[in-house]
Structure 1
Amino acid sequence: MNPSSDSATKRGVTRRKFLQGSLGAGALVALGRPGKLSATVAAGDAATGWAPTSGGVRRGLVFDDADGPRIRATLARPEFAAFWASSTGADLAADTRFLTDELDLTKRNTHLLRATAILQRTAFTQAIAPEERQLALARLAYRRVMDFPRWDWILEDGKFPVGVMRGASTGIAVICALDWLGDALGDGAREAVVRRVGEEMGPAGFRAVGGMTHHEPMPHWSMDPVVSDIDHVDVSRWPEVLNHTNLRIIATSGLAAAACFLKGRHPDAEKWFELSRDSLRRFAGWMPADESFPEGPGYWGFTFTYYLLAVEMLRRTWGADERAVLDFPTMARYTLAAAMPTLARPDDCVNIGDANTAASVNPLAWIAREFRDSTAQAQVVRPGLMGAGDFQWAAIWFDATVPPRIAPDVTLDREVAPGLVLSRSGWALEDRVVCLRSGGPVNHEHADRNSVLFAAWGERLINDPLHASYSVSNPLWLLRQTEAHSAVLIDGRGHAYHHGEEGVNASKASATLLDHRVAHDWMRATSDATDAYRLAGLPVQRVVRTIVFLKTGLLIVFDAVDLTEAKTVEVRFQAYNDDRRGQVSAAGATFAIERPGAVLHGRVAAEGEVQVVSGRLDLPATVGVYPFAAVRAVAATRQRIVTAASAIRRGGAADALHWSRVGKTWRLTGTHAGQALRLTIEERAETAVPIVVM
């Protein structure tokens, strides 16, 4: 959807009119998918933060005093042990030293983030298990967070803060700290927070969400020049660029928190409430029909932690029930499909783009509780997903009575936005998982069209890079490029991308999924990335990849490239080496990618002359060593390269495989997984999708 064609704008609600007053009834028309919005619950279900219940027990913005015993019991569970140990056993002396001696008020990206994390952690820990040292540090962290002259680094008209980046999460932490600790936070804290939320957080959130919603005229956003710890990029289009991204929800959550905190105490609180609820519904209406999340599972977790914080606060304070606006149990099936735990990383995932961790247990705990969803609960209690971090929300929302088991209707094969093909043999650590990246551009993407990812026996064997830099000035920006992916290079170049002029927003590159077939024990897919390479100025007529995945552990990759000029073509297979335990070797027409628990054996064939080699990305070893195997073809206008990559446990017997070709038909024969194998791939003149016979 083009943000400029939003329904509210079509009805003539200009930004100028919008800013002149609160949202009219027309802007609150159900903007989610038809039939998915709930009605507002009866006013009797509402409760105001700070207000005692009839029994005299305080009702909080997120949890009540009466919830304390249940939360303490949750924190005693083994799944929460690492998180709670990191909270109660944090290095308070180091935190104190940072806040007292090292904090730089111009560093709102990093130092404000750390100070806010300390405040949120200590306030929650003190609320659950009071201890004088925690309280003292919470008070110090609160004062230092309040010392920042602004909480965000985006300005409107060069002077008014816009709460679209750090401001919303900072304000939520401050509000929650006061909600949890009350007057114990310090003398005058209550009045100071009321003033800061009313004067900065609420208006800044209103500018952020309003600016992303209405673009007539486009608000004038720029970066605060005093901020010193972030690249200063052009944010003038960010109201439009960020409209459908996770940052809309971070801003929305901050606005909702301000509306709930100051309900009945600020003249604009109701206006903030209306806009935040409208924003939640708009975002719900833009979600893919299968409830997947184009930015990946890690960003889903980040986004929906804040989405559900807003939902909970609005329900508890204003009585606005938004639980039915999305199909949250189906979301839990998406996060399960995108999970890919490995021996090295229990929280690993199918990390297309910047998504480098599995979905957070915070929203999964809420989904499990609200819908008694066993698939969500199975992910919450999976070992290794909780360590140090902001997992207090999972502790608050966790319901131990929900059984943890994957529902029997969860499928092993699916397509998810923005065009990923996912296939797996099962859900155990040793199962095999493949992902092919087709589809269109999306926020936080890489130049990775037609890239493939393959994990087996608890190891990443064909890798997609993790931890690419957000900053174009950092050497790890290279990890965003096609050359760092298991994809095709033409004349040494990848497909179209950008140079970070506006951050890590979407490019214009697209691939199209031409074919996708699945059976119980195999999957095949064909994706056309021609346009993405053409946008880079390359003389391409066809850049098509077909994969065939046998779930016993064999991946076939068939690359068909047609050019109008003779150019070299290179097919890369990246190895996972973040722990310095990955090795790549090549000999003749074969290569091997070795990990501690498994080995990938590759056998290559091609129409023309090729060389199979090992290499590494051109990066200083101080930032990482990134090895890969490469199939390099001499310059020609037609290239056909087939690769059979078989995964075996470390110490197991390698497959015996052999390629042969007659005309446009490729035949793979030999043994795989102890059985005879015969597979053919035949090109057809009338279509880019080959015939595959097994």
Structure 2
Amino acid sequence: MPSRRDFFQLTSLAAPAMFLPMPLLNFFRPGAPLAGKLFFDETQLQTMRTAFTGHPLFAALRQRLAAFDRAKERKFLKSEVRYNDHLYHIARLSDTAQQMAFYYAMTEDKDAAKLAVDSIRTMMKFPKWDYFLEAGKEVIGIQRASSSVLAAALCADWLGDSIDKKERSSWLETMGERGCEACFRSLYGMRYPERVVGWSMDQTSTYFEHRPGDRVDLSNWPHILDRTNLKAVPASALAIGAVAYQQQFGKSEKTERWLEQAIYSIKTFRDLFARDGSYDEGVSYAHYTALHLAQATTILHRFGRADLYDLINWPGYLDYVYGMAMPVQDDLYEIVNFGDNGNAKTGEAGKPKRSSMPMWIAAHFHEPQALWFAEKLGGDLDEWALIWHQPQMQAVAPKPGPQLWHSDLDWIVARTGYLPEDLVVAMRSGGPSNHEHADRNSIIVKCFGEHLVADPYRPPYSFSDPSWMMRTTAGHSAVLIDGRPHQYHDGSEGTNASQAVARIVRKGERSGYFFWTSDATPAYQLVTPDVKSITRTIIVLHELPAVLILDKVVKTAQPSRIQARFFAYNLEGKGSITPASSGFKTIRPHAELHAFAASQNGIGVEALRLPIPEENAVKHPFAEVSTQTPDLASFLVTVLMPARKGETPGTVEISRASAQEFLIKLNHASRALTCRVLDTEAIPEFEIAT
């Protein structure tokens, strides 16, 4: 894939070729059936219809839209809508309208068009389009006003001649008043937080009926949201809404004000994405953010308002989503789920839809590996994937074999490939971010189609939830010092960033293995100032396969014991973990993990659950490997040996060659390795011999 240097050469020198799929348009171009041609024109529409009706990539999209329960939705429209339910009802209306309008554009199904029209008409009855307020009275748009703007703009375009000009004008006028202005206010507040009187939640909304525990302090939100996905959403909506409004009513002070603010806010994401294209809120939020930025980038260029294609290192973003891919037997689209990320595990929501961004990158940066990701690792293809699909492009698979990915975020992942049976070992080092957990130096391991060391899935957002503990270090496959975690916030302001920092201080690739060390000392010192150093060294023996973990904690004055936790995956009740005298065993349907541990301070192993409600605790059992004698310098060696279910597991022998030297002998099938570990410094040294 292109380097960042190649990327900027591409964007500066080859821009005309890059933009061929999206020709520049002027305002007020007449034509039907599309009213606005916001994202495609009639020629592109015919190509899209051909792909929608016949291309196997879009079979699931075609089936999903065709099977949409229209009777259920009409019942909802007739008797169930609450015009102050912003959390669910207005979002449901905007989703239905967009889906049915798109289906009409693809098939000319008039009944679908009618349902889309009825949904928009019902949405227009909401006096407020969001549940956040400035100064207790003016609506500010975050997610709900943004999705409503998008629905109004797209339906006004895609429904074409099925609505008359007067009604289209009415929709777009209301969109401007209740949607665009609300989005402008939120973005203006993030841009000038010192001018904000005070943000709050609308007490007349039903939000707290649904989530009574979510009474968070919003006083710092203009600062907090300015660095999160929740800025991209209204910024994109404002750009799209402003273009749609200007097409209908002409250029005005209002549309110019909206466009200036939208473009300004979008440009700030140049500093929110890392230089290599990584995004610190994690893959799920990265896609959400990137999709909105791509939509805005497309329409702003399409209508000649701004060229922002070089804003983000988008080819590098492709490396990022590849680096975080972690397919398993039961979920081919699984990801490394640092923080609040991860695929939903049940129902329709359990089918991720992250193919549209790779499809956009493939189209605009001529990157065939992006198309391969969209087809193989991105989940179900949605409407935006079809809009940006390039039928003439052929997918190219990524390079095979073991590889180590280290992002500018200091997130690091070793892998042997992109199939469920391949080995993946991931560590969360790096700095704080929105939607993070207290998970510095935590690891995730999957192999032979199974999660074998897990990051507990999607803890609650609300600090009032009794399972909030899952967000802390105690809820991760990480290290505790005398049972104490590293720093994290109390959740009173939401899922915002902490102050915890870790750094990858060394890494390398050798024949048959990868290695790295992460130093999380600053994060732990914020809770335990006596910590002089805490490092975790990972050695991934990808040919065996096995993972060696070297945990070293040095204290200044007070001797301590350390505990390393390893969580099993048991969301569906098919995982278990049992202790042994020198380690533990994790069992999954298709694979097992055999763990062995040693320390100069002795070890103890327990199988435990978190002290949270049982219905959650049972889903996240863990083994705790602990040193037994307090010491100023605690050193713990843990060896993880994955094995296919039914296969004879490998053997591990850990012995002491001297007071500061461990010998680890590993045998599996016809392979044998010896690792010599020297515990002489804050970062242990090691040698691998075959």
Aligned counterpart, 1:377 = 371
Change in 2 beyond 3 A, CA 1:228/1:66: same
Change in 2 beyond 3 A, CA 1:185/1:666: farther
Aligned counterpart, 1:5 = none
Match of 1:68 among 45, 48, 72: 45
Of 401-410 and 359-368, more deviation after overlay is shown by 401-410
**Cα distance, 1:405 vs. partner?**
1.2
Match of 1:558, SS? strand
Of 591-600 and 124-133, more deviation after overlay is shown by 124-133
Aligned counterpart, 1:47 = 25
Aligned counterpart, 2:4 = none
Change in 2 beyond 3 A, CA 1:197/1:267: farther
Match of 1:177, SS? helix
1:445-594 equivalent positions in 2, closer than 5 A:
445-537=436-528, 539-552=530-543, 553-563=545-555, 564-594=557-587
Of 583-592 and 109-118, more deviation after overlay is shown by 109-118
Contact 1:600 1:646 in 2 (8 A): yes
Aligned counterpart, 1:28 = none
Instruction: Give the letter aligned to residue 68 of structure 1.
Output: L
Match of 2:115, SS? helix
TM-score (norm 2): 0.89
Contact 1:353 1:446 in 2 (8 A): yes
Contact 1:50 1:58 in 2 (8 A): no
CA deviation map 1:312-346 (0-9, x unaligned): 11122235332233332222122111111111112
Aligned counterpart, 1:342 = 328
Aligned counterpart, 2:190 = 212
1:48-447 equivalent positions in 2, closer than 5 A:
48=26, 51-52=29-30, 60-75=37-52, 76-182=54-160, 184-185=162-163, 189-218=167-196, 220-229=198-207, 230=211, 231-263=214-246, 264=250, 266-357=252-343, 360-382=354-376, 385-386=379-380, 391-408=382-399, 412-447=403-438
**Cα distance, 1:132 vs. partner?**
4.1
Distance 2:577 2:531 in 1: 30
Aligned counterpart, 1:30 = none
Aligned counterpart, 1:622 = 615
Instruction: List alignment gaps of at least 5 residues for structure 1.
Output: 1-32
**Cα distance, 1:598 vs. partner?**
1.2
Match of 1:570, SS? strand
Distance 1:511 1:444 in 2: 17
Contact 2:546 2:640 in 1 (8 A): yes
Instruction: Give the letter aligned to residue 370 of structure 2.
Output: A
1:665 aligns to 2:661 (yes or no): yes
Contact 2:283 2:341 in 1 (8 A): yes
Give aligned pairs, total: 656
Distance 1:692 1:212 in 2: 51
Match of 1:268, SS? helix
Distance 1:622 1:405 in 2: 44
Distance 1:350 1:126 in 2: 37
Distance 1:107 1:141 in 2: 15
Contact 1:616 1:627 in 2 (8 A): yes
Distance 1:49 1:601 in 2: 65
Match of 1:573, SS? strand
Instruction: Give the letter aligned to residue 371 of structure 1.
Output: F
Distance 1:35 1:69 in 2: 33
**Cα distance, 1:197 vs. partner?**
2.4
Instruction: Give the letter aligned to residue 628 of structure 1.
Output: F
**Cα distance, 1:200 vs. partner?**
2.5
**Cα distance, 1:64 vs. partner?**
1.7
Match of 2:558, SS? strand
Aligned counterpart, 1:4 = none
Change in 2 beyond 3 A, CA 1:90/1:82: same
**Cα distance, 1:86 vs. partner?**
1.4
**Cα distance, 1:57 vs. partner?**
7.3
Change in 2 beyond 3 A, CA 1:337/1:411: farther
CA deviation map 1:396-447 (0-9, x unaligned): 1111221111354998212124321111112222111111111110111011
Contact 1:163 1:201 in 2 (8 A): yes
Q: Percent sequence identity over matched residues?
A: 31
Contact 1:515 1:689 in 2 (8 A): no
Instruction: List alignment gaps of at least 5 residues for structure 2.
Output: 1-6, 344-351
Change in 2 beyond 3 A, CA 1:265/1:190: farther
Match of 1:47, SS? coil
Aligned counterpart, 2:349 = none
**Cα distance, 1:359 vs. partner?**
7.7
Change in 2 beyond 3 A, CA 1:399/1:476: farther
Distance 1:110 1:689 in 2: 53
**Cα distance, 1:207 vs. partner?**
1.9
Match of 2:394, SS? coil
CA deviation map 1:93-128 (0-9, x unaligned): 332333433333333123322222222211211221
Distance 1:354 1:56 in 2: 42
Instruction: Give the letter aligned to residue 78 of structure 1.
Output: P
Distance 1:50 1:184 in 2: 19
Change in 2 beyond 3 A, CA 1:197/1:82: same
Contact 2:549 2:637 in 1 (8 A): yes
CA deviation map 1:206-251 (0-9, x unaligned): 2222222234445532222223334131122122112122122112
Change in 2 beyond 3 A, CA 1:82/1:690: same
Distance 1:492 1:226 in 2: 44
Distance 1:633 1:74 in 2: 60
Distance 1:634 1:369 in 2: 58
Distance 2:605 2:158 in 1: 61
Distance 2:674 2:28 in 1: 70
Distance 1:181 1:268 in 2: 26
**Cα distance, 1:616 vs. partner?**
2.2
Match of 1:644 among 639, 647, 659: 639
Distance 2:449 2:485 in 1: 30
TM-score (norm 1): 0.88
Distance 1:116 1:470 in 2: 24
Instruction: Give the letter aligned to residue 676 of structure 1.
Output: A
1:668-683 equivalent positions in 2, closer than 5 A:
668-683=664-679
Distance 1:692 1:110 in 2: 57
Measured on the aligned residues, the alpha-carbon RMSD in Å equals 2.7
Distance 1:659 1:216 in 2: 60
Of 523-532 and 410-419, more deviation after overlay is shown by 410-419
Of 190-199 and 594-603, more deviation after overlay is shown by 190-199
**Cα distance, 1:498 vs. partner?**
1.3
